Amino acid sequence: MSKFLDDFLVTMPTTQRQKLLELLQIKQQDGTIKSSLEFQAELENMLREIESREGGPTFKARKQEHQANSINHNKNMNELLFDLTTLFEASASIDRLLADNKQLSRSLLGSIKKSIYSLKSKLERYKLLMKNTDSFIDGVHEQFSYPEYTETDEKALQTLRKDRFDKYLDNTYDAENIGDALQLSGIETTDQLKTSYGRKLADIKVLNRTGTPSENPQHSIDKAIDGSLSTYWAESILVDQPITQNVNELWGSSYNGVSKDGAICELEIALNGITTVSDIQFDPFCSYPLEIVSIYGYETEDKGGKVYELISPNHDNIYQRSKKSVNQMTFQFPSVEVSKLRILIRQENYLKENYLVNADEANNEELWRKLSSDPELIDDYKNANETIAEFDKKNEITGWSVYLKKLQEWAVQVNDVSVLKAATTAMESVKTGDYQNAMLLKLQAMTKDAQVNINNNPSVQPSWQAVNKTSYLYGAYNISVFGRKYRNQSIYVTSPLPLSSNATRISLETVEKHHDIEIGPETTQLSHRSDSYDKARITDIEYYITHKKNPTSSDWQPILPVDKEYVKGELLLGDLVQGSYPELDEYQLKGESLIVYSFRFPVTSDQTVVLRRNGVAMSSKTYVISNDGKKIGILGKFYSASSIYTVDYKPADGAWIVNLNELSGISPTQYINNNGETGESFAFADINNSITLKHKPYLFRKDLFNYNEEDNAYTQDENKLSSMSPEFPIIVRVNGVEFKNITNYSSNSYDIERLTENDGKTFAQIGNTIVFGSPIDGRKIENINVDYYYVATDIRMKAILRRNSVEDESVTPALYSYHIRCQSYDQEV
């Protein structure tokens, strides 16, 4: 501990001066010091005294002989008071600094994690673009661990946060990011482990484990549910060989077909009676990924009644299967009413660690129970048959303050860098308070030859030897159990996405979680009976794309993710399709009422449509589909206003692509400078014989290009690349002379040899960069004017998350990530 004390004492002089000033001010206030001159003289005198002690304690023992000397006694007491208050203040300062450093470290780690996730997103994007077999050459990838493209400007959201029918929703309808996934916003969250005042509502204990644990009372199992991330539960399993055990007797059902290697621990949480649970969060304490194998819920305290398989390795719902991570893991499921929870965890990763231990206890299994154990188990007093000198010698070896210093000196002598590094690490462990056991020094970096070095050192060899153990470390900063209720809909809107302004076609791919409910045999009013169980989807996520800054409901174009062949669980909610539908009007003429809804996408065939009322499939005789497949009408005699109607169907072609073109309302703008003149001007080209425009020039798609269905690519009309055509993409003039455009827009490239055409008065446009040829007359590339059109699009995506069930308030869909890809006339290769 010497290094820690050395560092501690460095802070003493400043702290001493601060406390000295405070004490003198108290004396001045009570009249002991009567003037400012006395105050200054006393201060200077005591400062000289402090400096003479070189930052050490000011206390100086004064012997009392014969009659007690009250002056000396008071001086001793004042010095003790001063030293103690200085120590307390310095200790408090160090605590504050350590806390600040811990918070800073967490912040830095969070920033590093965010950067890592950002790099992963970019990697996913590039992997996506490398698969460019369908001419989709640009895109974005978003995951919700650290999202990058979420719109957070409330002013912008006031115009964007609208439902399918353009109805504004306030910010309580913003979708929430929970457990690295987007989900419905919550209306009620109940902590089932403690009250809002912090009173504990549950108990936790370890039921079973494999191996012999080394526990620390300061990090006991109850710390896992105290709600604080500054405390934690941890234990280490120390064994001679990696654990491979037959656990079928205890956990066979949980581990069917799963590896059983590693340290396994079973926890039990006793809740406060019958409790609603729908959400469990686990913050692991570990160096390597910790696996949450299974979570079971029990209706009664004696584990009788219903048993709920909430999480398991082979759960039917893939989103309720085991997880493995070093970061927080969130488990969500439809709410259950339980009294107890059983959580099974597994740590399969281990470390081979070397220790210096007392030779007499090297083979004693109890020693391994003492790792970070109760200090009372370690004798800090001499035994009856040992002298003070022997006790001091033992302390010199086993105590932190001297032993670590000696070990460092010894490591330097034998030139063992690994041991020196390990000793330094151990000292830092003491500094942060991680080690409580003065009998044990953990040397992670120690070599296998350590015992030879110990045997060669006479001061260490008699009492210590190196021992190698296999260590499994696991624990939890915090385990949280919640009961949640969600809104029936929430909205998520992206910020403007960094996609090409020349985008023509957009596709979407998502990773989602949904909930299905089982529907038993039901009888409709038409005696239509289903004898088998059916599954109905009660959650849905609708996606829309727009390119306008202030979009209305008609500007948001629906899109279906490419990984979905069918629409499932779409909520029927009004009619957005205009036009005449005689096939529906004839029912009105017959005197039958018809409640009409529109589909988000035209259906490919009415044979694929399944209409559901509160999840139950209705007969095809209860509704009618329009001829164009855009509308559905429910016969009034089968309609209930209090019911929720959803529909499953296969959409027609075009549901998976959003087309952006002039027909979509894109309006290109001609570049005009601050003087009202057309064209962007440059004095001269850069060293690369090029210039960079402020915007990427817009291409007049339908006039300049023809789409080749067989090649799935665009070809350009060369006759429309000059100013003689009204659809020109760009005009470049140098010294008043128009240069020739040799760009191959179908591949977004150019042939360098073509730059010599037109006597070198040529250019190529790649993105917003203009590359010039070299005129053969030798004139410089200067006085440049570029006349072009551009589009300031705001391509955004909106997701509307829904729960189409009144009863299942604890159920939410989840969006984990999405890819947006676009096809562009900038066909990069």
Segment 748-772 shows an average pLDDT of 88
Judge contact between 260 and 244, C-beta under 8 A: yes
pLDDT for 564 beyond 80:
yes
pLDDT of res. 645? 94
- Strand segments (E) across 64-216: 136-143, 176-178, 181-183, 186-191, 203-209, 213-215
pLDDT digits (tens, 9 = 90+) for 365-391: 444 444 334 343 334 444 555 555 555
At residue 829 the predicted structure's pLDDT band, cuts being 50, 70 and 90, is very low
Would you say the pTM of this structure is higher than 0.85?
no
pLDDT of residue 547 exceeding 90, the answer is no
Q: What is the pLDDT of residues 388-433, one digit of tens each?
A: 555 544 444 344 444 455 555 555 655 555 555 555 555 444 433 3
User: What mean pLDDT do residues 487-515 have?
Assistant: 87
Residue 461's pLDDT is 47
Partner residues linked to 545 by β-bridges: 557, 797
Return d(Cα 667, Cα 401) in angstroms, integer.
77
DSSP string, 212-251: -EEE-GGG-GGGGGSS-SSS-EEEEEEESS--B---HHHH
For residue 443, the 8-state DSSP code is E
**Strand intervals (E) in 426-566:** 441-443, 464-486, 489-493, 503-513, 516-519, 534-537, 539-546, 557-559
Architecture of domain 188-349+478-482: Sandwich (2.60)
| Cα distance between residue 816 and residue 46, in whole Å | 66
Beta bridge partners of 177: 182
Is a pLDDT exceeding 80 seen at residue 561? yes
- Compute the radius of gyration of the chain from its Cα atoms: 38
Give the total residue count for the chain.
829
CB atoms within 10 A of CB 392: 13
Nearest to 570, CA basis, from 532, 609, 596: 609
> What mean pLDDT comes out for the span 614-639?
91
Sketch the domain layout of the chain as residue ranges: 2-106, 188-349+478-482, 505-660, 668-790
pLDDT at 510: 93
The pLDDT-based confidence of 61 (bands split at 50, 70, 90) is low
pLDDT, average across residues 530-552: 82
| Dist. CA 246–CA 260, nearest whole Å | 7
Share of the chain above pLDDT 70, in %: 67
Quote the CA–CA distance of 135 and 76 in Å, as a whole number: 87
Map residue 705 onto helix, strand or coil: strand
Of 29-43, 474-488, 775-789, the range with the lowest mean pLDDT is 29-43
Q: Are 284 and 326 in contact (CB under 8 A)?
A: yes
The pLDDT assigned to 316 comes to: 83
Check: CB of residue 622 under 8 Å from CB of residue 638. yes
Least confident of 48-62, 221-235, 783-797: 48-62
- Tokens 């405070």 map to which residue? 22
| pLDDT confidence tier of residue 624, bands split at 50, 70 and 90 | very high
| pLDDT, tens digit, 9 for 90 and up, residues 675-730 | 888 899 999 999 889 999 988 887 765 566 666 666 666 566 555 555 455 455 68
What six digits make up the tokens of 424? Answer: 């330094």
Mind listing the pLDDT tens digit for each residue in 253-277?
Answer: 666 666 678 888 999 999 988 899 9
Residue 572 is which amino acid? L
Lowest-confidence pick of 224-233, 533-542, 709-718, 730-739: 709-718
